[in-house]
Chain A
Amino acid sequence: MTAAGHSRRLAKGGMIDRSRPLAFAFNGRTLSGYEGDTLASALMANGVDVVARSLKYHRPRGIMTDGPEEPNAVVTVGEGSSRTPNLKATEVILHDGLVTRSQNCWPSVNHDVGAVAGLAAPLLGAGFYYKTFMAPRGAWPGLYERLIRRAAGLGRAPEGHDPDLYEHRHFHCDVLIVGAGPAGLAAARVLAQAGLRLLLCDERSRPGGSLTGTMQRIDGEPASAWARQTAADIAASPRALVLLETCAVWLGDHQLVALVERRPGESGVAERLWLVRPRHVVLATGAIERPLCFPGNDRPGIMLASATAAYIHRYGVAPGKRAVIHTNNDSGYGALQHLRQAEIDVRAIIDTRPRELIDEAALRVVRDVDLLPGHRIVSTAGRHRLSRIRVGPADGSRQARVIDADLLCVAGGWSPTRHLLGHRGGTVRRDESKHASSAAAPGDDVAITGVAAWVTGLAACLADGARVAGAVLKALGRKVPAPRMPVPDDETGTLSGEPNGPSCPTLDARQQRKAFVDLQNDVTAHDVMRALDEGYGAIEHLKRYTTSGMGTDQGKLGNVMAIDMVAEATGMPVEKIGHTTFRPPYTPVTLGALVGHARGERLFPTRETPFHHRHLARGALMELAGPWHYPKCYPRDGESVDAAIEREVRTVRSAVGFVDMSTLGKFEVVGPDSGIFLERAYANRLSTLAEGRCRYALMLREDGVVRDDGTVARMAKDRWHVTASTAHADDVWRHLERLRQVEWPELDVLLVDVGEQRAGLAIAGPRARDVLAAVLPDFDVSPEALPFLGCREIGFDGGRARVFRISYSGELGFEVYVGARHADRLWDAVSEAGTPFGIAPYGVEALDVMRIEKGHCAGSEFDGRTTAAELGLGRMIKRDVPFLGHALACQHSIRQRLVGLVSADRRTPIPRGAILVAGMARSRALGHVTAAVVSPTLGHPIALAMLQGSVSPGDGELRAVSPVAGLDVAVEIGDLPFYDADGARMRA
């Protein structure tokens, strides 16, 4: 009864579109499937038994489930930079041209050399790596590391840039319903009819959940058709949104729920991460069937009973020909009707329970199938596919017998899917009173419905969904309607999924080695017992020691078996053992989905100064300095970067240059108490600053360490202009506002952030005054009118401008600030006025060279660990008036000091970030290099460094060592500043 070409495809049936065949490749073979198949169902239809090899022992593995709980069938999809490893074949929707491969096997999945690892199994048990690879130590880099890297892991990561696009979407709604199964659809139906803003999501590509795998009928039609129609009706409501193939992966604080929507449409967006803020959350997440633990429980052909039904109904695939059902609860008997429909020969039902515990309803469906109550599976056989099983009574009273079977349907009971609740620390296990769970966390509005809340039976689930919807409407103050309930067909045959038999029978040591608890990580019952023996009995310890639950399936099948095994072995009740912490995400999420749009050039917001286009027009080499696009240098006529920087420095020191200063933080401080405010906030004496004068100013942190340096200018009695360094501008604003709003609200002062609307250029060099005079012809720029550290307000281009006479480069310098709309005009005027003097723009590198030559501190010295005294700025600190940071600044002992370094041979560059050591002993680190350049002005390499303590003659020579760069340079301590020690040039 199979379709041509597919050895296991049924002639009819399945929710696939047989008019749309698809071709795909698996391990180089071209196979075919239909629209609506998953990769797993298509492989199964094509008779592929072995899909993957297990992690440690390289055992052949097939498909076990139909969902994200799949532990075995983990494959690589795609090629090249689109390659995605470690995807579960059950979650990959088949499309035309799909290219897939097995992982962790060589040369092929059917013949894998790695299978020899199975022979070494006794040595590779839990925690083996804590006891092996110890000696010889020398073997580590050459041998052990190489071996381990080759053997470890499953798939191989792709190389190159991810060509796919990803997006985020914030979404607000009244209700989020997770899961479009019977309870979810019932709830969503009521809420959509009430006109609420709702989002219904389901991880599968069609709605219905369990309804797509059942033969029941609702309102006279097949349940899956009812589901489809109901979902369509909900989607048609104006304020409802239905998302399929969308998995809810995280329930976060204040009910922020993250959903991953896969393949959202034809736009080329591969995945979309929805960040949903619902007022209410309804979890209708269903349940996952449990497997059973017995020797040889991992062979291809051993599947969950519900999965066999799913493959028959959803995909029209018969998973095998001769089936045996192995169960410890009544719901396992439900598989019989599906197997009969597909005309699969059912050889036996093996129930671990004694006959008395089996429900009458279950016994009724058995009919002529061989029922073996109180039996268990002793072993299984079959290399690439299950071929037979040995079954014996649990009490060992009779001989084991052999049953020929190629399909084993395992039914271990059901675990409600409550992981999202666990993300908020809510109850996941059932409590003694067997109520549906309380809210996830105080303040949360999360309700659970359906099987996830231990409600069994289709009618009961539909009713429970409607009930929860009613509760939500009531909470929102809406009228609760009395909807017409959908009526499922006769349910007298509902079989309970309550497991009342053991899932892990007692096994002897040899059997334990072959009985798998976590199939993906090859964790056996033996490993669990060994962990208990070695004292790792607490469930979190057990997980980490055995790695059970740490695979890509996140223990969805294995964790319950491990807990049951611990309960069995220790006699502790399951509630006391607890469970490992449920952490997001519920299933693996690609990094792309988490990142969204923020990659490459869009990684973070970038900013442009008002001179941005002038920089580009001038041929600047731009770089990112923090968020700012800023010129590194302006290379001319093909000169190298180093040559350009050197030329710019020479131009400034010998003639004149100009640089963009717009990135500095700029604030106006106004009000009657503005002087007091600044006096308290800064370390310098400011009350004595006259109008029209400015000053370098240090701001300390509360602990006395330097926060930032900048300038303070007094424009008028109660009006000040403050600058902060580019890197700390936001921090300084936040800090000053905190002082104003929180600490000193009694002061009458206002702070205004004027950073965005001002553009600034610094003109520096011996000819700077000439240039300024030409730019501002109506303004007296003589040394008398504008002395060093003076500031004036003037007019330019029809607007107001400010000029400050300060210098960062150490040359005669002026900073001119205008409104951003005048920026181009200012640049052009300066450029033009300076042409007779050979003016050139300079960038951040030249700026850095010159400030190092002058020994000026910048961000690399203000690294959050240095005090003013250590930086040689102690004279700026006022002693008599209290200010922020004063108390602890005075208390700091001086552990290091700022020094200048020159290389001993005056030739070798000093490496940046190098550690200072003394002599050949190198056992004591004496400090580090904060900034280093080759100085064109002095003609040799120089550096600034923080030196701890002092170097005594007996220490040997001082060396700057960078093990990372492999550099080692002898250095000498030089005087700071390196250039123009008395500052005559800037005071000219």
Chain B
Amino acid sequence: MTTLSEITPLSVHRLLGARRSNDVMDEAKLPSRVSEALHEGSRTAMMLGPAEWLVLNQESVGSLDPTIVPGQPFFVLDESDAWRLFRLQGKGAGDIVAQFCPIDIGAVEGTACVTHLARHPAIVMPRSSGEVAILVPRSYAASLVALIRDAITRSDSSVCGRYDVGLQDTDFKTDPPPERCDRIQRD
């Protein structure tokens, strides 16, 4: 059974930095490679691009504009209103994401890939448990949820090596051999 649920409340901050800020990144516990995600309790920091990070957390802070945080070469922007976070869980989670996303989900576990799901911008975070967290811009969320719900309803989302062995063999000379293989089903 595959389920889609939303994670709230959610706070999101975007950090836009100067070009060279490696030492500051270590201090602020920010990843140094794009798509890398660092998890610490309820806080997740991910690198979206050169000198651009997104930090997710469960408490919300309010501010509307990019402001310079004293002591750090960053602009901090409160984007809590700009995103919605969903969790796709269950056996078919990876297959559903694979319907809409060209990335090899299985190969990027633990990372945060900025990509798209059927042309909905999204940040896809596959976890080793098989569940996939999806961060999507607020205005696209309803459309993407509808798409995923359709896919959940439509599936048979477990992949079958569709393979029927109920058919008799042709052998004019001897009797047909006994069945030796079971119906194949992938889990």
User: Could you give, for residues 126-169 of chain B, a 1 whenever the CB lies within 8 Å of some chain A CB and a 0 otherwise?
Assistant: 00000000000111111110110011001111011111111111
Interface residues of A in 243-294 (CB under 8 A from B): 243-245, 261, 264-269, 275, 277
**How many Å from the CB of B14 to the closest CB on chain A?**
8
In the assembled complex, the Cα of A844 lies from the Cα of B77 at a distance in Å of: 31
Determine if A650 is an interface residue (Cβ-Cβ < 8 Å).
no
Closest B residue to A20 by CB, please name it. B166
Tell me whether B184 and A756 are in contact (CB under 8 A): no
Number of A-B pairs whose CB atoms are under 8 Å? 186
Given A243-B162, A601-B146, A670-B66, residue A821 in contact with residue B80 (CB < 8 A) = yes
Chain A count of residues within 8 A CB distance of the other chain:
82
Tell me whether A607 and B162 are in contact (CB under 8 A): no
**How many Å from the CB of A317 to the closest CB on chain B?**
12
* Across-interface contacts of A988 in B (CB, < 8 A): none
* Across-interface contacts of A269 in B (CB, < 8 A): 154, 156
Other-chain residue from A15, A264, A314 in contact with B160 (beta carbon distance below 8 A): A264
In the assembled complex, the Cα of A330 lies from the Cα of B169 at a distance in Å of: 27
* Across-interface contacts of B159 in A (CB, < 8 A): 241
Other-chain residue from B64, B157, B169 in contact with A225 (beta carbon distance below 8 A): B169
Tell me whether A229 and B181 are in contact (CB under 8 A): yes
Tell me whether B118 and A265 are in contact (CB under 8 A): no
Determine if B1 is an interface residue (Cβ-Cβ < 8 Å).
no
In the assembled complex, the Cα of A68 lies from the Cα of B138 at a distance in Å of: 47
Tell me whether A221 and B177 are in contact (CB under 8 A): yes
**How many Å from the CB of A383 to the closest CB on chain B?**
33
* Across-interface contacts of A610 in B (CB, < 8 A): 81, 138
* Across-interface contacts of A168 in B (CB, < 8 A): 99-100
Tell me whether A819 and B163 are in contact (CB under 8 A): no
Tell me whether B172 and A597 are in contact (CB under 8 A): no
Tell me whether B151 and A597 are in contact (CB under 8 A): yes
Stretch in A117-125, A231-239, A504-512, A774-782 touching the partner: A231-239
* Across-interface contacts of B140 in A (CB, < 8 A): 605, 607
* Across-interface contacts of B63 in A (CB, < 8 A): 800
Tell me whether B177 and A225 are in contact (CB under 8 A): yes
Tell me whether B180 and A229 are in contact (CB under 8 A): yes
Other-chain residue from A169, A241, A267, A598 in contact with B98 (beta carbon distance below 8 A): A169
Determine if A398 is an interface residue (Cβ-Cβ < 8 Å).
no
Determine if B90 is an interface residue (Cβ-Cβ < 8 Å).
no
Given A17-B166, A221-B177, A266-B156, residue A341 in contact with residue B172 (CB < 8 A) = yes
Given A222-B169, A605-B119, residue A819 in contact with residue B98 (CB < 8 A) = no
Tell me whether B156 and A608 are in contact (CB under 8 A): no
Other-chain residue from B139, B160, B171 in contact with A756 (beta carbon distance below 8 A): B139
Tell me whether A265 and B138 are in contact (CB under 8 A): no
Tell me whether A756 and B66 are in contact (CB under 8 A): no
Tell me whether B81 and A170 are in contact (CB under 8 A): no
Determine if A911 is an interface residue (Cβ-Cβ < 8 Å).
no
Other-chain residue from B66, B83, B163 in contact with A232 (beta carbon distance below 8 A): B163
Tell me whether B168 and A235 are in contact (CB under 8 A): no
* Across-interface contacts of A628 in B (CB, < 8 A): 139
Determine if B75 is an interface residue (Cβ-Cβ < 8 Å).
yes
Determine if B120 is an interface residue (Cβ-Cβ < 8 Å).
yes
* Across-interface contacts of B150 in A (CB, < 8 A): 597, 602
Tell me whether A757 and B78 are in contact (CB under 8 A): yes
In the assembled complex, the Cα of A602 lies from the Cα of B147 at a distance in Å of: 7
User: Could you give, for residues 573-598 of chain A, a 1 whenever the CB lies within 8 Å of some chain B CB and a 0 otherwise?
Assistant: 00000000000000000000000111
Tell me whether A313 and B170 are in contact (CB under 8 A): yes
Tell me whether A232 and B170 are in contact (CB under 8 A): no
Determine if B62 is an interface residue (Cβ-Cβ < 8 Å).
yes
User: Could you give, for residues 628-654 of chain A, a 1 whenever the CB lies within 8 Å of some chain B CB and a 0 otherwise?
Assistant: 100000000000000000000000000
* Across-interface contacts of B137 in A (CB, < 8 A): 756
Tell me whether A232 and B151 are in contact (CB under 8 A): no
Determine if B7 is an interface residue (Cβ-Cβ < 8 Å).
no
Other-chain residue from A18, A242, A757, A799 in contact with B79 (beta carbon distance below 8 A): A757
Other-chain residue from B102, B154, B163 in contact with A275 (beta carbon distance below 8 A): B102
Given A241-B159, A606-B143, A821-B81, residue A170 in contact with residue B170 (CB < 8 A) = no
Tell me whether A820 and B184 are in contact (CB under 8 A): no
Tell me whether B119 and A819 are in contact (CB under 8 A): no
The B interface, classified by DSSP as helix, strand, loop or mixed, is loop
Interface residues on B, range: 35 or more
Tell me whether A172 and B119 are in contact (CB under 8 A): no
**How many Å from the CB of B164 to the closest CB on chain A?**
7
**How many Å from the CB of B18 to the closest CB on chain A?**
10
In the assembled complex, the Cα of A610 lies from the Cα of B160 at a distance in Å of: 41
Determine if B82 is an interface residue (Cβ-Cβ < 8 Å).
yes
* Across-interface contacts of A604 in B (CB, < 8 A): 119
Determine if B101 is an interface residue (Cβ-Cβ < 8 Å).
yes
The A interface, classified by DSSP as helix, strand, loop or mixed, is mixed
Interface residues of B in 47-82 (CB under 8 A from A): 62-66, 75, 77-82
In the assembled complex, the Cα of A267 lies from the Cα of B159 at a distance in Å of: 11
Interface residues of A in 276-321 (CB under 8 A from B): 277, 313-314, 316
Given A14-B168, A16-B167, A607-B143, residue A169 in contact with residue B62 (CB < 8 A) = no
Tell me whether A169 and B99 are in contact (CB under 8 A): yes
Closest A residue to B160 by CB, please name it. A265
Given A15-B168, A17-B166, A167-B154, residue A605 in contact with residue B120 (CB < 8 A) = yes
Closest B residue to A262 by CB, please name it. B162
* Across-interface contacts of A277 in B (CB, < 8 A): 104
Determine if A904 is an interface residue (Cβ-Cβ < 8 Å).
no
Closest B residue to A231 by CB, please name it. B163
**How many Å from the CB of A661 to the closest CB on chain B?**
14
Determine if A228 is an interface residue (Cβ-Cβ < 8 Å).
yes
Given A14-B168, A222-B169, A232-B184, residue A267 in contact with residue B81 (CB < 8 A) = no
Pick the most buried of B107, B154, B161: most chain A CB atoms within 10 A of its CB: B161
* Across-interface contacts of B103 in A (CB, < 8 A): 170
Tell me whether A820 and B82 are in contact (CB under 8 A): yes
Determine if B186 is an interface residue (Cβ-Cβ < 8 Å).
yes
* Across-interface contacts of A207 in B (CB, < 8 A): 163
Tell me whether B161 and A241 are in contact (CB under 8 A): yes
* Across-interface contacts of B99 in A (CB, < 8 A): 167-170, 596-597
**How many Å from the CB of B163 to the closest CB on chain A?**
6
Interface residues of A in 153-167 (CB under 8 A from B): 165, 167
Determine if B16 is an interface residue (Cβ-Cβ < 8 Å).
yes
Determine if A128 is an interface residue (Cβ-Cβ < 8 Å).
no
Closest B residue to A274 by CB, please name it. B98
Tell me whether B81 and A232 are in contact (CB under 8 A): no
Other-chain residue from B16, B81, B138 in contact with A750 (beta carbon distance below 8 A): B16
* Across-interface contacts of A244 in B (CB, < 8 A): 162-164
Determine if A752 is an interface residue (Cβ-Cβ < 8 Å).
yes
Determine if A930 is an interface residue (Cβ-Cβ < 8 Å).
no
Determine if A206 is an interface residue (Cβ-Cβ < 8 Å).
yes
Tell me whether B104 and A172 are in contact (CB under 8 A): yes
Determine if B95 is an interface residue (Cβ-Cβ < 8 Å).
yes
Tell me whether B147 and A235 are in contact (CB under 8 A): no
Q: Residues on A close to B: CB < 8 A?
A: 12-18, 35-36, 165, 167-172, 205-207, 215, 221-222, 224-225, 228-229, 231-232, 235-236, 240-245, 261, 264-269, 275, 277, 313-314, 316, 341, 596-598, 601-602, 604-610, 612, 628, 668, 670, 715, 719, 750, 752, 754, 756-758, 798-802, 818-821
| Smallest CB-CB A-B distances: 8 pairs | A267-B156, A756-B82, A820-B81, A800-B64, A172-B104, A757-B82, A607-B139, A235-B161
Q: List 15 A-B contacts (CB under 8 A).
A: A16-B167, A36-B167, A170-B99, A172-B107, A215-B172, A232-B182, A235-B186, A601-B146, A605-B118, A606-B142, A750-B75, A757-B78, A799-B62, A799-B64, A800-B64
Instruction: Apart from A13-B172, A171-B98, A598-B118, list 6 A-B contacts with CB within 8 A.
Output: A17-B168, A313-B170, A607-B139, A752-B75, A756-B83, A819-B64
